[in-house]
Structure 1
Amino acid sequence: MLAQLITLNNLTSESINISKPLFKLGRDPTNDKQFTNNKISSFHLQIEYKESQFTILDNSSNGTFINGKRIGKGNQVIIQNGDNIHILPIDRVQPNEIIGFEFLIDNKIKDSRSNSDQIQSINHNKSQIISQQNKQIDELADELLCNICNEYLFEAVTINPCNHYFCGACLSKWLEKQQQNDCPNCRTIIKSIMIARMMNNLVEIWLKSNPSQNKKNSLMSKDNLIYQNPNYYLNFQEEQAKKQQKDISDEYLSNDDNFDDNNPHLQFNPIIIPNNAFLFQAQPIQICKSCNGQVWKQYQCTDNQVHIGCSSCGRLMPKRLLNEDENEQLQMMCCICKVYDCKFYYGDCNKANLNKLMLVKDIRDLVQIPLNFINNVEYIRIINHLQGKQHSTIFDFMLEHYINKGDFYFQQNKSTFNFPLQDINVKITPNTPICWQCHRKLINFIIFRYVQCWKYDEALFSSPDCFYGINCRTQHRNQYHADKYNHVCEQTKFN
């Protein structure tokens, strides 16, 4: 026996044992339980046990009621242990004509359902934990990139004191080529370089879930001088000071024609460095091109002009408060983060090859839809929409229809970003300067606006918008919600 219908009125029916997965009630003799009341339909209802739950299908004309609520003809609902089922409306029949039952599930079935629910709950919790872990790793993806090669970190190292991360081989090459021992990212003087084991572990976890991104190269291991001699780089500033002091001494001695190391009267005074500072090779200071009475690009610095260093080479530039049109013309700073760079302004930056500042029209070949863009559903929709075309197709479309016409704006606010540090609304044109750090943010926003342009012309993007849009948290933990709603949209509801 699976369940029982305990009668609520012995005058109209006795209690009924349900021993079949599909149990029918009605006036027709073929039903499992036959009633003779003319108000009952030939096939009035059926109770079905499937996948550890009971459902009731109403096929009657006069109605079937669960706890006083009518089901409705053709509708099927789940019934629970202890529910009251009435075959006819109580308010339209006499008390002695009421046909009602209390639905009771057999104890064995209840125990089985309880175990099943526990198993489902455990599996659900496991999937949630795995999903949450993958989500957290996905959110870290941008933090696992080397700022020199823009690939995922390989044999990662970290710089002290700024704590920026790079590939060991990339930083080794950087230090060989540069005259100054500074961080490639922020220009802080490097005190020490250490192996970043924790970052290596995070990259390894990320690559397990994204094996296609694995670009390990044996040549990079050979070029990684930091891993080959970690103790030297652990005391990098001190070792460099010793090396440079030795180089200076060697150069002095080799150029002195009167030097005789057998002369007992020859003495050397030690080099005294104030405040125990380390000795570094002097670098020529490149002054601002608008100072000392000079005019550069129709601008001359005043006596109290504020200056700022180029983010690539450190050369001084006048710090000017420019509007969007002026910055587009002079191309002094990134349109988003406002970091200054002399690459375009002076035109002769000695570290222009770092590409720390670019023009928007030049980022076309860098366009790549991030894996799981917004969420996995939206990412698949965009990929299916492109039908094998290059991702740069998106940039070409937006460039032709919006950016070239001056109709595209990068907008950072609470509707388009999660917890933005500041609101930004800046016009983007082909000649707008953008820095390396911000170009990925701009590309993602271009993809975001591209999908919105196709919402009413592409069936893939026609789902109803979620109130919380791109910032929705439910989309990452509820697959049904992610499938049902469009999240490539702005947040319109705020709690």
Structure 2
Amino acid sequence: MWQFFLSKISILKSGLFHVILLLLLGTELCGFRCNQNTVHLQCHACGGMMPSRTNNNVPQHCLGCDRAFCGAYWHAQRLSRSDFHVVCSHETFKPISERTISRIPFLAHETNRHEQDITERCIRQMGRTLQDVISDWIVKFNNREIDRTRMPLNHAEMVTASTHVCNQCYDKLVSFLLYWFRVTMPKYLLPPDAANREDCWYGYACRTQHHNEDHARKRNHVCRPTRGSNI
């Protein structure tokens, strides 16, 4: 008997209990009901399950990484988290245009904290917020004013401001936009200590910046490489 209960707990933890419950009860949500042939997707964020709806206009995969996320789907079905099923917050997977940001992502400027600090100071001395800057650059991005060659998302040419992306891909997009914000900024708008630095030959692709603090600080790495394989 105890083995039976352990197996039930295991199913509940995996998120499969939700699917089984819908199948057994024949629950209908917004005109859709699962059956024994329904394919289900496992959410990358919460591990819960959702039916794969190819004929549904609510995205179930992040265009930036192709992983499945349930936040938008269950939000559209007006289903919330309970003891019986795992559901992601709507905040985990939503359109780029509906997102806000208040901190520079860890990934920005190839994780170079000195460059991140300079970007933060630039924004502050301009009297703006990070959200202001990103909103402006999303408009430029949406208008295709930015070269997307180095954009670290899948299907880069298909991404627009209305595209649903996960939190991780949004951070990657913000980091990409902050590179363009900095690389197009006139030197006189940089803080004096940053404006006087020479560009690193290897630019953003420099590997030394990751293990040599002195080099990471003394050379500008938010620039295009002039040497190496990334020219």
Asked if TM exceeds 0.5, the reply is yes
Give, in whole Å, the separation in 2 of the partners of 1:302 and 1:353.
26
Structure with more of its chain in helix, by fraction: 2
Change (3 A) 1:315 1:487: same
Give, in whole Å, the separation in 1 of the partners of 2:216 and 2:41.
49
Partner of 2:141: 402
| RMSD (CA atoms) | 4.5
Aligned mate of 2:154, from 421, 424, 430: 424
Q: Kindly state the Cα deviation for residue 446 of structure 1 after the two structures are TM-superposed.
A: 2.0
Give, in whole Å, the separation in 2 of the partners of 1:383 and 1:315.
40
Change (3 A) 1:407 1:364: farther
For structure 1, which runs of at least 5 residues remain unmatched after alignment?
Answer: 1-270, 321-325, 418-422
Give, in whole Å, the separation in 2 of the partners of 1:363 and 1:451.
21
Aligned mate of 2:121, from 381, 384, 388: 384
Aligned mate of 1:443, from 148, 170, 174: 174
The reply to whether residue 316 of structure 1 matches residue 53 of structure 2 is no
Q: RCO (CA 8 Å, sep 6+): is it higher in 1 or 2?
A: 2
Written as runs of structure 1 = structure 2, the 5 A alignment for 1:8-87 is none
The 3-state SS of whatever aligns with 1:336 is coil
For structure 2, which runs of at least 5 residues remain unmatched after alignment?
Answer: 81-86
Written as runs of structure 1 = structure 2, the 5 A alignment for 1:289-438 is 306-311=39-44, 312=46, 314-318=48-52, 320=54, 330-346=58-74, 347=76, 348-350=78-80, 351-353=87-89, 355-368=91-104, 370=106, 373-374=109-110, 375-386=112-123, 387=125, 388-403=127-142, 405-407=143-145, 424-426=154-156, 427-438=158-169
The reply to whether residue 489 of structure 1 matches residue 223 of structure 2 is yes
Q: Kindly state the Cα deviation for residue 362 of structure 1 after the two structures are TM-superposed.
A: 2.5
**Is the 8 Å Cα contact of residues 60 and 69 (structure 2) preserved in structure 1?**
yes
**Is the 8 Å Cα contact of residues 71 and 89 (structure 2) preserved in structure 1?**
no
Give, in whole Å, the separation in 1 of the partners of 2:35 and 2:8.
34
Amino acid of the residue matched to residue 468 of structure 1? Answer: Y
Rg larger for: 1
Q: Kindly state the Cα deviation for residue 384 of structure 1 after the two structures are TM-superposed.
A: 3.4
Q: Kindly state the Cα deviation for residue 316 of structure 1 after the two structures are TM-superposed.
A: 2.6
Amino acid of the residue matched to residue 207 of structure 2? Answer: R
Percent identity between the two aligned chains? 20
| TM-score for both structures, normalised by structure 2 | 0.61
Q: Kindly state the Cα deviation for residue 469 of structure 1 after the two structures are TM-superposed.
A: 2.1
Written as runs of structure 1 = structure 2, the 5 A alignment for 1:52-451 is 271=1, 273=3, 277-280=6-9, 283-284=17-18, 285=20, 287=22, 306-311=39-44, 312=46, 314-318=48-52, 320=54, 330-346=58-74, 347=76, 348-350=78-80, 351-353=87-89, 355-368=91-104, 370=106, 373-374=109-110, 375-386=112-123, 387=125, 388-403=127-142, 405-407=143-145, 424-426=154-156, 427-451=158-182
Amino acid of the residue matched to residue 483 of structure 1? Answer: K
Q: Kindly state the Cα deviation for residue 370 of structure 1 after the two structures are TM-superposed.
A: 4.4
Q: Kindly state the Cα deviation for residue 396 of structure 1 after the two structures are TM-superposed.
A: 1.9
Give, in whole Å, the separation in 2 of the partners of 1:335 and 1:273.
41
Change (3 A) 1:277 1:378: closer
Amino acid of the residue matched to residue 50 of structure 2? Answer: L
Q: Deviations for 1:269-313, whole angstroms, at most 9, x for unmatched residues?
A: xx3635x9455397453659xxx9x9x89x999997643134447
Give, in whole Å, the separation in 2 of the partners of 1:272 and 1:345.
35
**Is the 8 Å Cα contact of residues 108 and 179 (structure 2) preserved in structure 1?**
no
Partner of 2:83: none
Amino acid of the residue matched to residue 399 of structure 1? Answer: I
